[in-house]
Amino acid sequence: MSEQPILRVNDLCTFYGRSQVLFDVGLSAPRRGAVAVLGRNGAGKTTLLKTIAGELRPQKGAVEIDGRPATRLPTEKRIRAGLGYVPQEQAVFGRLSVLDNLMIGAMSNRDKAAVDRVLQIFPKLADRLGQHAGTLSGGERKMLAIGRALLGEPKLLLLDEPTEGVWIGVIEEIVDRLAELAKDIGLVIVEQHLDLALRVSDFAYVLDRGRVALSGSSDEVRNDPQLLRLLAP
Ligand SMILES: Nc1ncnc2c1ncn2[C@@H]1O[C@H](COP(=O)(O)OP(=O)(O)OP(=O)(O)O)[C@@H](O)[C@H]1O
Ligand SMILES: [Mg+2]
């Protein structure tokens, strides 16, 4: 018997005002492993994650988290249902220290052990606990944003471009940590680096102008003759 997915999305249609950006998008993510969302700039990847996270309300369609309807839940309730979300931008509080950012991520879960677990995953943060998050490098900032989300102990983690603006030498480190996390929880990763995205994920969806144009196992998607055309600017 296959396990129920941690995330199921059906027929999502999301608009900004009168302009429709997502068209009948369907996607599901298993309880363990990573799903990649690919697509050129403006394809609707961030809009999809924001809709799953509850920052945008779809005009049509449904979001189910951990087997329960979530379409009408506000973001906080989705977080309580097991969602973690690392947005593409402004994922940390620049004027607060690294430690304070982590403490806010912990919210009700303020035990030091949880913070220590995050510092084990991202040891670079341990040396910078007192530093303002706004002065971190791109890679450190992404690690902090992921670490904050992990303190909520998500069952499902949405990551919008976790390696954007990160120096190449640190990208591998972040991707390795994500691969380890995917052994325990479900990840949905929007990622521009095609090779990394397909390496870390088991399944991939390619959006084209707000529609799922291609989906399948990451190996199938990697070898699909349509892929490069769908990602070409
Ligand atoms: N707040 C907004 N108001 C109006 N249109 C928006 C808004 N945010 C995004 N859009 C438009 O929606 C479309 C999809 O944007 P989205 O940010 O989801 O794309 P993306 O795939 O994440 O792109 P990128 O790879 O550049 O991050 C784009 O045409 C964008 O201009
Ligand atoms: Mg985006």
Ligand 1 binding pocket (C-beta < 6 A) is 16, 19, 21, 39, 41-47, 88
Structural domain for 131, as ranges: 7-231
Whole-prediction pTM: 0.95
What local confidence, expressed as pLDDT, does residue 16 receive?
97
Task: Decide if 172 is inside a domain.
Answer: yes
**Structure token pair of residue 94:** 């620049």
pLDDT, mean of residues 171-191: 96
**What's the CA-to-centroid distance between 228 and ligand 1, angstroms?**
21
Nearest ligand, CA 44? 1
133 DSSP assignment: G
Ligand 1 atom nearest to 88, measured from its CA? 27
Task: Decide if 1 is inside a domain.
Answer: no
How buried is residue 97: exposed, middle or buried, by Cβ count under 10 Å (0-12/13-18/19+)?
middle
What local confidence, expressed as pLDDT, does residue 103 receive?
85
Q: Which helix (H) or strand (E) holds 193?
A: none
What local confidence, expressed as pLDDT, does residue 125 receive?
95
What local confidence, expressed as pLDDT, does residue 107 receive?
61
Quick one: pLDDT band at residue 112, thresholds 50, 70, 90? confident
Residues 229 and 206: their CA atoms lie apart, in Å, by 11
Mutate to test the pocket of ligand 1, among 47, 188, 189 (most ligand atoms within 8 A of CB): 47
Residues 23-72: tens digit of each pLDDT: 999 999 999 999 999 999 999 999 999 999 999 999 999 999 999 999 99
Q: Which helix (H) or strand (E) holds 120?
A: helix 112-121
- List the residue whose alpha carbon is closest to atom 26 of ligand 1: 41
Task: Decide if 174 is inside a domain.
Answer: yes
DSSP-derived 3-state class of residue 39: coil
Alpha helices in 152-190 (DSSP H): 168-181
Q: Which residues surround ligand 2, an ion (CB under 5 A)?
A: 45-46, 88
What's the total number of domains in the chain?
1
What local confidence, expressed as pLDDT, does residue 176 receive?
95
Residues 121-168: tens digit of each pLDDT: 999 999 999 999 999 999 999 999 999 999 989 999 999 999 999 998
Task: Decide if 94 is inside a domain.
Answer: yes
Mutate to test the pocket of ligand 1, among 15, 16, 163, 191 (most ligand atoms within 8 A of CB): 16
Task: Decide if 21 is inside a domain.
Answer: yes
Give the closest residue to 157 by CA, choosing from 57, 31, 64.
31
Cα dihedral 212, 82, 113, 100 sign: positive
- 171 CB-near residues (< 8 Å, 6+ apart): 139, 163, 193, 196
What local confidence, expressed as pLDDT, does residue 104 receive?
78
Residue 99 identity (one-letter amino acid) = L
Task: Decide if 110 is inside a domain.
Answer: yes
What local confidence, expressed as pLDDT, does residue 108 receive?
57
The CATH number assigned to the domain holding 222 equals 3.40.50.300
Residues 78-100: tens digit of each pLDDT: 999 999 999 998 889 999 999 98
Q: How far is CA 55 from CA 83, 114, 156, 181, 210, in A?
A: 13, 27, 16, 24, 17
Quick one: pLDDT band at residue 186, thresholds 50, 70, 90? very high
Say if residues 50 and 25 touch (Cβ distance below 8 Å).
Answer: no
- List the residue whose alpha carbon is closest to atom 3 of ligand 1: 16
What local confidence, expressed as pLDDT, does residue 67 receive?
95
Residues 26 and 16: their CA atoms lie apart, in Å, by 19
Task: Decide if 2 is inside a domain.
Answer: no
